Structures are given as structure tokens and as C-alpha cells.
Structure 1
Amino acid sequence: KKKKENDLLAVINEININNQYISGFEERKADSFETDRKIYSGIFSQHLRNLYKDLTEDKFTLNWNDVLYFHKRYAAEFYRMPADEALLKLPSVPSYQYQEYLIERKLLGKLNIQSFKVRFVCGFRFERNEYELFKIFQSDEHFIFDVEGRRMYLIDEELKDLDTSENESNQVSIISQLKRKNEELEETIEERKRKLPDDVESVLKDYLRNLESVDIMSKIFDVNEETNILRAMLNLNLNN
């Protein structure tokens, strides 16, 4: 009985630990990435606006860490891995150079028309490189920020072959597995309460067979009493 109680306690503890992990993950996901994604769009818009201003005034005042923080914080968990990096890393195009970064000339012109307002759509990850997809405000135009390549350029035809839905944490599948595991554990709790541990049941059955083989005439009362008790235990299977 003590062993059965310990087994049940272990199952309940596992369910509680899983629930704590699930709750912590869901709260962090809701409060963090979704909010920061919107803030990041505004920060990147201002960064582009300042970049254009610097180019026109022939100066360099930007700190790229102002926009690089986002992929460092979220890429490993949220950015999706595309099937083909070639869809994201496009050939060189005529570009302006700003410090170590290149921005496509045509892209900068389109950004200027829309006052540099952009929206972060989603991020992609391929091995050690990250790519961020942005949409230009009030248009159907999109562009890529190649983080490691330090380039920004328009993207068009390749979009149809890319999954551009909102990023989800790669831990979603883990959470689903934990929820299914908890359901299975909860279903076994009642069964564990009723069922004797296999090793205990085996010992009792062996002992019952031994008692039944004893010379009934020699110890009829004692043997019958023990036999009846064991049969009752096995039949009830510790229902109570």
C-alpha cells in the first residue's frame, strides 16, 4: 500500500511540474514576443528614418544595436527555419553603403515615399544566420533585412514560396506534448489506485498457490483462513 501511495504521489508531482512549465511559457509568450514585435516595428522605422537623414547629410550617427537586440532575444525560439535559404539571400543590387551595411537604392526610395513606416512580419533562421521580413506601410512591398549579411533589399516573387505567417515559439510542440502527457497521467491515477503493484500481486499469487498445496488435513483452519484472506485481496485488487 505504501508503494502504491508513493507511485501516485510521483504521478501527481509530475502533473504539477508540467502544469507549472505550461503556465510559465504561455504567460511569457503572451506578454513578451507579441508586444515586443509591435514595438520593434516602430524602432526599426525610426532607425530607417535616421539612416536616410544621415545619408543625405553625409554623416554616421546610428547605433545598429538599437535594432539588433530583437533577433538576439527571439531568433532562437521564434524565427522559423525555411526550406531554402536561396529564397531569402538574393543577389546583389545597386545599394547605398552606410557603415558596414548596404541598403538597396530602390528600397530606400520606396521607404521615403511612405515616411519609412514599416511593420515587422516575421523572422527566419537558417543555421547561424537570421533574416527579417518587413512590410512597407500602405503598400504591398516587402523587404528583407539580412542580419549577418548586413543588407536590406526588396523581395517579391520569392514571397509566394515562403511561410510569412506570424512566428510562433518552437516550444509550442513541447507544450502540446506535455498537455497530452498530463491527460494520460490523469487517466491512470484511478487505475493506479485500484491496481496492486505487479510485484506485490505476483508474490501474493505465489503464496496462495503454496498455501493451496499444503496438506489441508494438517492445518485446515489456519491454512483456510490465510487462503481466504489472500483470495479476497486478489479479487478486490485493493479497491479501497
Structure 2
Amino acid sequence: MSPEQTILKNSKKRIQKLKLLSKFFQKEDLINIIIKTEVIQSYFESKSIAGLDINKLELFHIQYTDSLIVLLDKIKKQKEAGILTAYKEIDANEDYIASFISQEKNGRDFNTERKYQNALVSDFLRSIYENLTDIRTPIDYKKVRNLSNFYAQDYYRKEAKIDCLLSLPDVRYYEYDNVDIERKLLGKLNSNNFKIRFICGYIISNQIFELFRIVDTNEDFIWNLQTNEFYILAEDIALLLDRSPNTSSKRSIVSDLRNRNEELKTKAEDMKTELPEEVITLLEKYKETLDSQEVLNQVISIDEELNILNSMLNLNLNNKIQ
């Protein structure tokens, strides 16, 4: 292969490299630069322009194209590292989400079991009442705590003023087998046939509370699982509490992770086209330089030939004088 063919081949390789980089960065100025660079090469491939020094094409690439390729290649590697980091985080988040969904499908379900709590605590309180009135019935102390044992850490609300959940000092109780029930509450439960509904749970300062409502009334009561006390929640204090249904903290995390993954995907796409301001300015200047014909004039300059011819003429002239 002749030196001229080698230079043309290497020139095409450089242009192809720029094209690959332009697909990654997707910048209009870079595409314009490639077009102008191809135009310059075409002059040296064209047979209509004879006598061009092929070395000037090589010099053009050394001065301009190679520097641009090195710059963009380094920026591309930096961006690829950032994109790879983003997708590694996405994969880790997806693994957590998949694990949570798998647990939900194969495991226990809070929204179902909270409904069972209504009947369990109702039977528990009815049994306490019957034992207080000398009607001996068995009491299941274990089942009523299953909901909190399985779900308190994940579902029960962790933000509330604990003072609003504690009993008032003047409350009067019935006591039976380490269970304290406010006297007024027990009377209301009995008159309502112990129909209750679980509202939500709280876990504050490692203390667990469950909030219930007496069905068909506006009256709520609290079960303090640490002290095993049941007492009415005053209406004015109830207004200070968030009494909305409990949601899983893991479910909230999953929702946050899904949102995070969408942000990361957008960031990874934007990362390709985002360039430092100084690089954008440099590309604009590069494009303007090619557009101004300055570089083209240098590549197809006749100054060198003029200087050689002028030197030869001067030499001949001097010889004649001598």
C-alpha cells in the first residue's frame, strides 16, 4: 500500500471514529464537524484537483481531528462509567423490589389479617367481661398479639406524640389476670355487643399501641400492649393523632425505589448528551473554524509552491547576474 493510500485509509478511520462518537453524544455541531472533515478528505480523493500534498491531510488530522477524538473519547469513558454506576443501582433496586413482591405473594397479608384482629380482640374483651362477671371462659392471650408480633415493625406508625397515646391518670379500671380495662369502656363495649374495628397501630419509643373504634359510634379506644391496658381515647386528643390506615414501610420503600429507577434511567440518557460548557464552546469554535474556510485554505494552500517557485526564480536570477 502506497503512503498516499495509507494516509487516506487512516483518514477514513478517524472519520468513522468521529461518527461513532457522534452517535453517543448526539450533538449537532459534532455532526457538522464530521461533514466538513469528509469534505476536506474528498478533495484529496478527487481526481479533479491534482497536485495536492497528501501530507497536508495527515497534518490536518494531527492538528485537529486527533485532538478532538482524544477529548471526546475521554469524556465518553467518564460518562460510560457514570451510566454503568446508574444501571448497577437500578439492578440492585430491582432485586429488592422483586424480593419484596415475592414475599408479598407467598407470605402473610396485613390487610387481610387486620380484619381478623377485629374478631380476635372482640372475643378477647368479651371473655374478660365474662370472667369478671363470674362466667368462666377460656382466654386466648396469644392470638390477639399475633398482628403486632408480625407487622408492628413494618406497618405500625412510627410518628406520633406518645403522650396522646398514654392513658390519663384518673382512669378507673377493672382488673383481671394482668389485664386492665377502663370501666366506662367495658360498659360501652358490652352495650354494643363488643363490636369493634381495628383502625391502626403505633410503635413509639419501642412501645406498641393499637387503636380501635366501637362500631356505629364515634368513640375510639386504645390497647397499650406494654401495660396491657384498654382505655377510651378522648375526642380532643384523637384529633392530634394520625388515624389513617397503616401502610407498609417496605411498600413505601418499593415505591421510592421505582421512582428512583425512573430518575436514574432519565439521568443515564441525559448523561450522553450533557457536556461541560467549555466543551460545548469548543465544539462551536471548531465548527466555526471549519465553516470559515480557514482550515480548508491551509490544507489546499499554494503558499508553499509559490515560495518554492519564487526561490527557484531568485536563484536563476542571481546566477544570471553573476
Q: TM-score, normalised by structure 1?
A: 0.70
Q: Which residue of 2 aligns with 1:226?
A: none
Task: Determine the C-alpha separation between the residues in 1 that align with 2:270 and 2:220.
Answer: 57
Q: Which residue of 1 aligns with 2:139?
A: 62
Task: Encode CA deviations 1:148-205: one digit per residue, 9 max, x unaligned.
Answer: 011001112310111111112233553343223312321244466789xxxxxxxxxx
What aligned pairs does 1:2-17 form with structure 2 within 5 A after superposition?
11-17=86-92
Task: Encode CA deviations 1:55-113: one digit per residue, 9 max, x unaligned.
Answer: 22254631311101111111111111344211111225221111011011111111111
Match of 1:140 among 218, 235, 241: 218
Task: Determine the C-alpha separation between the residues in 1 that align with 2:158 and 2:269.
Answer: 43
Gapped regions of structure 1 (runs ≥ 5): 196-240
Q: Does residue 1:18 correspond to 2:93, yes or no?
A: yes
Q: Which residue of 2 aligns with 1:32?
A: 109
Match of 2:156 among 55, 71, 79: 79
1:57 is paired with a residue of what secondary structure? coil
Task: Determine the C-alpha separation between the residues in 2 that align with 1:53 and 1:59.
Answer: 7
Greater helix share, 1 or 2? Answer: 2
Gapped regions of structure 2 (runs ≥ 5): 1-72, 275-322
Q: Does residue 1:119 correspond to 2:119, yes or no?
A: no
Q: CA RMSD in A?
A: 3.2
Q: Which residue of 1 aligns with 2:312?
A: none
Mark the structure with the bigger radius of gyration.
2
Task: Determine the C-alpha separation between the residues in 1 that align with 2:160 and 2:143.
Answer: 29
Task: Determine the C-alpha separation between the residues in 2 that align with 1:59 and 1:31.
Answer: 33
Q: Does residue 1:159 correspond to 2:234, yes or no?
A: no
1:39 is paired with a residue of what secondary structure? helix
Report if aligned partners of 2:130, 2:137 keep a CA contact under 8 Å in 1: no
Q: Which residue of 1 aligns with 2:260?
A: 181
Q: Which amino acid aligns with 2:254?
A: I
Q: Which amino acid aligns with 1:87?
A: C
Q: Does residue 1:149 correspond to 2:227, yes or no?
A: yes
Q: Which amino acid aligns with 1:139?
A: T
- Residue 147 of structure 1: how far off its partner (Å): 0.5
- Residue 31 of structure 1: how far off its partner (Å): 6.5
1:175 is paired with a residue of what secondary structure? helix
